[in-house]
Amino acid sequence: MSSVLDETLTAEMLAATFARPESESAVLLAIDIGSSGVRAALFDETARELSCVRRNSHYLTTQAPAPTAQSFLDVVTDLIDELLAPVPLHLEIQLIAISCFWHSLVGVDTDGSPTTPVLDWSERRPANAANKLRARLSETDVHQRTGCRLHPSYWPAKLLWLRTDHPAQFDATARWLSLSEYLTQELFGDTRTSVCMASATGLLNQHTCQWDPALLAELQIGSEQLSEIAPDAISDRTLRKNYSSRWLQLRNARLFLAVGDGAANSIGSGCSTGGKLALMIGTSAAARVVFAGGPPANIPAELWCYRMDRQRTIIGGALSDGGGLYNWLQQTLFPDSDPGQISWQIAQMEADSHGLTVLPFWAGERSTGWASNARGGILGLGMNTTPVQILRAAMEAVAYRFALIVTALDSVVSSAAIVASGNALYSSEVWVQLISDVIGRQITLSDTREASTRGAALLALEAAGKIQLNENVIVQSQRVFAPDFSNHAQYQEAIRRQQKFYDAVVSFYQ
């Protein structure tokens, strides 16, 4: 008895010794599970970040075989241990918010144990399954109902691929979950999903906010095999006993049902209304607009359309290659070079001066063509081509794909102000300027470097009635980049050239 009491007192004294004074005002713990790492942070009720910890992982684009759901759970629980270690045990945090990458799929058996690894947005193996679905269904009709194209990144193609190529795993599966639902199953005993997370599966009817009966019938999946779509954003569940006793500060915390990291990023970077367009480059890249109400009457073929919640819609385009492509090229072409020197050399180059055309599909293509089997390519190489020219050409190529997305978005929400975020852009303001020149629009670089974590916190605090989501609580801008229109004119021809190669080369793989 005395030994247990001594250990408890020691833990309390250690916590008090190392506690930060501001942690006393923490009301929310936010967890962001992204493509390149996992982050956990504490926030006060005004969405001010108090402390954070991070674990870089690069799970999605470099790890083979595919990661397990348990590996993500281990990282999340370890980070919470680390984050809460200095926080007084008497503190009661009220909310837990989760942001998680969209499109993940994991099967579980009747006991809730995984039957598959985590299949994420970068999964290419269901490409043939996606093409089979395109042959059997009207992709236009599916896109207008679900906001999602028939593509390997979404659940319909993944489920068909598992059924045909991995029947043992498919037959052993009782329920299909996103990674976030698996995590909340383990932590809270709750597998309900938010409209936001469900809307990016490719199985949700965006208009009814229910699972799409026609697609389920086509895939021979029953709605009981999918998560219940919760009517409310905040769960009444608290942590399972083994975790509430492990983290006493969270013993009464309620769960804000997980949202997609893209939705959280848009909110966290200050783009909560249709007047602003969030442009992000992390491992992947995206451009998105949030607006009140349901989906538009006609969703452009280039774009996806999901739900922020039952009152708001988010529409945009995604690029599978962003910072991940930059890092791959840098590590491959400049293994021992100074990154600062490389950036300086890139900045000295003139627009489209290298004679190269890059198809930036190393990780496949999503927007704007949604080619299931697309592969990357570098065209125009010569004996005098230098590594820095290849890297600059790849950065420009990503910007050209952004230009096509923004043009499509303008047909839905015209002339939205562009706000940029993402670690790749914070590391390379040259890239921000380059994108501004390509698109021909002013770009503001957000001052919120971890926009997805803060966005999840803002959405949870809004749902709890602690804040109103408006410009006063979002962000202050860091720096504004104005386009160079002489470069813009040069880049228009480069976009047309890239599209000609796209039409010729990508069709070869289809």
In tens, the pLDDT along 185-207 reads 999 999 999 999 999 999 999 99
Handedness of CA 376, 380, 381, 385 (dihedral sign): negative
Q: Which tokens go with 92?
A: 């009661």
Q: In angstroms, what is the C-alpha Rg of the chain? A: 23
Kind and range of the H or E element at 215?
helix 213-219
**What mean pLDDT is predicted for residues 139-166?**
98
Whole-number pLDDT of residue 64: 60
**What DSSP string describes 362-427?**
TT---TTT--TT---EEES--TT--HHHHHHHHHHHHHHHHHHHHHHHHTTSTTPEEEEE-HHHHH
- What domains are there in the chain, each with its CATH number? 2-262 (3.30.420.40), 323-445+481-509 (3.30.420.40)
pLDDT at 381: 97
Residue 94 has pLDDT above 50, yes or no: yes
Return the percent helix, strand and coil in the chain, to nearest 5: 40, 20, 40
> Residue 6: which pLDDT band, with cuts at 50, 70 and 90?
very low
pLDDT-wise least confident of 38-42, 73-77, 88-92, 269-273: 269-273
What's the pLDDT band for 5 if we cut at 50, 70, 90? very low
Model confidence at 256, pLDDT cuts 50, 70, 90, reads very high
Give 414-417's long-range contacts (Cβ < 8 A, gap of 24+). Answer: 416/274, 416/275, 416/276, 416/277, 416/289, 417/275, 417/276, 417/277, 417/442, 417/444
Provide the token pair at 164. 């045909």
End-to-end, the C-alpha distance of the chain in Å comes to 69
Measure CA 79 to chain center: 19
Residue 397 in this model has a pLDDT that exceeds 70: yes
Give residue 100's pLDDT band: very low, low, confident or very high (50, 70, 90): very high
Range of lowest pLDDT (57-66, 179-188, 193-202, 467-476): 57-66
pTM score of the predicted model: 0.91
The pLDDT score that the predictor gives to residue 478 is 77
Q: Beta strand pairing status for 210-211 and 285-292? A: unpaired
Cβ count within 10 A of residue 417: 14
Lowest-pLDDT range of 20-29, 41-50, 79-88, 142-151: 20-29
- Side chain identity at residue 131, one-letter code: N
b/e per residue, 8-21, with b = 16+ CB within 10 A? eeeeeeebeeebee
Statement: residue 8 has pLDDT above 50:
no
Q: Is 450 helix (H, G, I), strand (E, B) or coil?
A: coil
How would you label 324-336 residue by residue, b for 16+ Cβ within 10 Å and e otherwise? Answer: bbbbbbbeeebee
Residue 58 has pLDDT above 60, yes or no: no
pLDDT, tens digit, 9 for 90 and up, residues 277-318:
999 999 999 999 999 999 999 999 999 999 999 999 999 999
CA atoms of 232 and 509, how far apart (whole Å)? 44
pLDDT > 70 in the chain, percent: 92
User: Could you tell me what percent of the chain has a pLDDT over 90?
Assistant: 83
- Give per-residue pLDDT as tens, 114-124: 999 999 999 99
Task: Give the number of other Cβ atoms within 10 Å of residue 290's Cβ.
Answer: 24
Q: Is the dihedral of CA 79, 82, 84, 89 positive or negative?
A: positive
The per-residue pLDDT for 67 is: 87
Q: Which of 310, 230, 264, 199 is nearest to 31 (CA)?
A: 264
pLDDT of residue 303: 98
pLDDT tens-digit map of 203-254: 999 999 999 999 999 999 999 999 999 999 999 899 999 999 999 999 999 9
Q: Name which of 37, 45, 51 is nearest 83 in CA terms.
A: 51
pLDDT beyond 90 at 14: no
Does the pLDDT of residue 10 top 70, yes or no? no
pLDDT, tens digit (0-9, with 9 covering 90-100), for 327-362: 999 999 999 888 889 999 999 999 999 999 999 999
Q: Quick check: 11 pLDDT over 50? A: no
Euclidean distance between CA atoms 356 and 337, whole angstroms: 22
Average pLDDT, the chain: 91
pLDDT value of residue 45: 93
Q: Place 473 in a pLDDT band, splitting at 50, 70 and 90.
A: low
The predicted pLDDT at position 62 comes to 46
Kindly report whether the peptide bond that precedes residue 65 is cis, defined as omega within 30 degrees of 0: yes
pLDDT greater than 60 at residue 439: yes
- Torsions phi, psi of 69, nearest 5? -60, -35
- pLDDT-based confidence at residue 413 (cuts at 50, 70, 90): confident
User: Is beta strand 37-43 parallel, antiparallel or unpaired with respect to 28-33?
Assistant: antiparallel
Q: Is the pLDDT of residue 472 over 80?
A: no
